[in-house]
Amino acid sequence: MIRIVPFSPEHAEGVVSVILPIQQTEFAIPVTLDVQPDLRDIPGFYQCGDGNFWVAVDAGTVVGTLALLDIGNHQAALRKMFVASSYRGPEHGVARKLLQTLLVWCRAQGVREIFLGTTAKFLAAHRFYEKNGFCEVAGETLPKSFPVMAVDSKFYRLSLERNENLA
């Protein structure tokens, strides 16, 4: 049974073992752990303010990750959403469960908007975000506090204000 739980230090190795192979092997993004200092200090980077970091765990093994970075003004950045290839798809529902957990957290914390940046290569991710109410936005419209990564070329926004996404 897959559980979604907040990150704790015993998950550190599992987080890296999910994220790096997807970045480096699946999508050939030349990124290393050394250029991702957030992964070396998840509590200090993500688990503060309105932010958090969750892992999907199956029988003690990390199979998915999702981070929320508090960027101020009741806004947050969705980061580090990765699901191990063998756990993708509706039959497992890992991405959906991770996102649902994040949305419940955001509403409880009073977060009004969630932004995310992704690479053009993550086509399945684009479909997932769009299916879940995220709308593509131009990079120039992002809040100044949003941390644009070098690989980000496509940006999305989700309003948690009632009825705004129904327009």
Residue-wise pLDDT tens digits, 71-111: 999 999 999 999 999 999 999 999 999 999 999 999 999 99
> Which class in CATH covers the domain with range 2-166?
alpha beta
Mean pLDDT for the stretch of residues 32-45: 96
Residue-level pLDDT at 167:
42
Q: How far apart are CA 97 and CA 83, in angstroms?
A: 11
DSSP label at residue 135: E
Residue-level pLDDT at 27:
85
Q: Can you give the C-alpha Rg of the chain in angstroms?
A: 15
* φ, ψ for residue 32, nearest 5 deg: -125, 170
Residue 69 in this model has a pLDDT that exceeds 90: yes
* φ, ψ for residue 163, nearest 5 deg: 70, -5
Residue-wise pLDDT tens digits, 129-159: 999 999 999 999 999 999 998 889 999 999 9
Mean pLDDT for the stretch of residues 42-52: 98
pTM > 0.75: yes or no: yes
* φ, ψ for residue 6, nearest 5 deg: -65, 145
Residue 125 in this model has a pLDDT that exceeds 70: yes
